[in-house]
Amino acid sequence: MNRYDYIVIGSGIGGLYTALLAKERGSVLVITKGSIDDCNTRYAQGGIAAAISKDDSPRLHSDDTVNAGAGLSDKEAVDILTGEAPARIADLVGYRVPFDTLDGEIALAQEAAHSVPRVLHAGGDATGEHIEVTLSRLVRSSGIKVLEDFMATEILVEKDKVTGVKVLDCRTGSIDEFECRFLIVATGGAGQLYKYNTNSDVATGDGIALAFNAGAEIIDMEFFQFHPTALRLPGVLPFLISEAVRGEGGVLRNIEGYRFMSDYHPAGDMAPRDIVARSILNEIKKTNADRVLLDVTHLPPHTITARFPHIYRFCLDHGLDITRDQIPVAPAAHYMIGGIRTNNWGETNIAGLFATGEAACTGVHGANRLASNSLLEAIVFSKRIIEKAGGKAKVRESEGDNDRIMSCTLSQRPVPKAFPPASLTGLQQLHWDKVGIIREKEGLNQAATLLAAWQQSLPAPVDQPSLELSNLILTGRLLTEAALIREESRGAHYRSDFPESSPRWQCHIVWKK
């Protein structure tokens, strides 16, 4: 069978949740380039935010989200996110996601920039893994067709309407085509652009490249969130040390033992993560080190082992007992805020093409994502995608988004006479050095020129590694060129040559082929 009602590309929380809902309305195919268990969702330690306590409200959650978004959040989309959050949490409970409880009620934790405790966890710091395992088990037992080790190579479009997808069998190299009524891109982010990142190896910007090449709009790519605290040990890949560790009482010190965050922000260790990340970079530079220290040794050991079992065990496996030793940390690339531009129903500008999860940009995050809103965004807008595709969407009046749109196309850049060959290692180092936490014009121009040269010189991709490199280079170009255009600092985008925000730039940069 090569025709389905719904085809979902990707197997994170957005893809799996969408597939389960779509099964009630028609035939479903899930395409994933690895296993349906391999995605960024598994790495989400922080949790999922929702206003479910008597001391909270969707309006309060909305206000916190908009405040974090630094003037670029779509208020209507945010109200949808926060208003529909409790019902979507109820759906996950119905799916048997084992959220942590206290005295018979779901336990709620405090995280930075949230005004009240509203973050649900499962298994302490294993929230994403528990949700992913629960949903993947349901998909496997539901009869939904799943193609593992298959990679989408092209979205097929005729007369501005999606008709299907072309895929590569990563094991045999053969190409297949599948037709569909609706195609949902849920491929995750692009953390592999950066040398230091907290993402799965599969986060290579595939959905951005697929959608852009098909003619879809890509928005807000300059806003890439760096997590301030990833484990920094010699020979060990960066491992996320959840923001919830600071929410529980952990404090940041430089290598000289000085507790520095109050020098940078009134909220101290609970400041917004972009400020914490830049503050850590500054302390690293001041002390001529490659790390700072996250200290939880003053907390009761049982609190650490019960609340953060994954973090505790991972560190212990690498010779670090965090109940007694301070944790060496440094920033790492974490979350792609921008993505495929969608409306409040997950629709793109191509009929029948939808996007959800980290690959999508719904407008809720603005210029800076509020912690633990990403898993929530995936389930809220995945639900709305199926309502829209099934013709049961309740149309609501738009409040109107007054933000301006700056429409752009990628221009040709002169190719330098000599440049190093394209490689994943070179690409990651380039982004870390030139398009990282702190950016400036000269470095961005250098990166943009080299990325354009790589894109023009690459042979046609023929297998998964070459496809992923091609997708990363295109995604990196969209990110870098947007960062070069935006001559201000806002949210997760910081330009040292334009360190202040400007009302002139309260707009969105949109790319279209």
Specify the DSSP class assigned to residue 416.
P
Tens-level pLDDT at each residue, the chain (513 residues): 699 999 999 999 999 999 999 999 999 999 999 888 666 556 656 689 999 999 999 999 999 999 999 999 999 999 999 999 999 999 999 999 999 998 999 999 888 789 999 999 998 888 888 999 999 999 999 999 999 999 999 999 999 999 999 999 999 999 999 999 999 999 999 999 999 999 999 999 999 999 999 999 999 999 999 999 999 999 999 999 988 899 899 999 999 999 999 999 999 998 888 899 999 999 999 999 999 999 999 999 999 999 999 999 999 999 999 999 999 999 999 999 999 999 999 999 999 999 999 999 999 999 999 989 999 999 999 999 999 998 876 655 444 454 589 999 999 999 999 999 999 999 999 999 999 999 999 999 999 999 999 999 999 999 999 999 999 999 999 999 999 999 999 999 999 999 999 999 999 999 999
pTM: 0.94
The residue assigned the tokens 């099964």 is 23
Query: How far is Cα 225 from Cα 368, in angstroms, rounded to an integer?
Result: 7
Query: How big is the chain, counted in residues?
Result: 513
| Distance between CA atoms of residues 329 and 284, nearest Å | 10
To the query of whether residue 495 is one of the catalytic residues in this protein, the response is no
Out of 246, 273, 307, 495, pick the active-site residue. Answer: 273
**Structural domains in the chain plus CATH codes:** 3-148+337-389 (3.50.50.60), 226-333 (3.90.700.10), 404-511 (1.20.58.100)
Distance (Å, whole) CA 86 – CA 78: 14
What would the DSSP string read from start to end of 228-290?
Answer: EEEE--TT----B--THHHHTT-EEE-TTS-B-GGGT-TTGGGS-HHHHHHHHHHHHHHTT-S
What phi, psi does 3 have (nearest 5°)? Answer: -130, 130
Our measurement of the distance from residue 458's CA atom to the centroid of its chain's CA atoms, rounded to an integer in Å, reads: 27
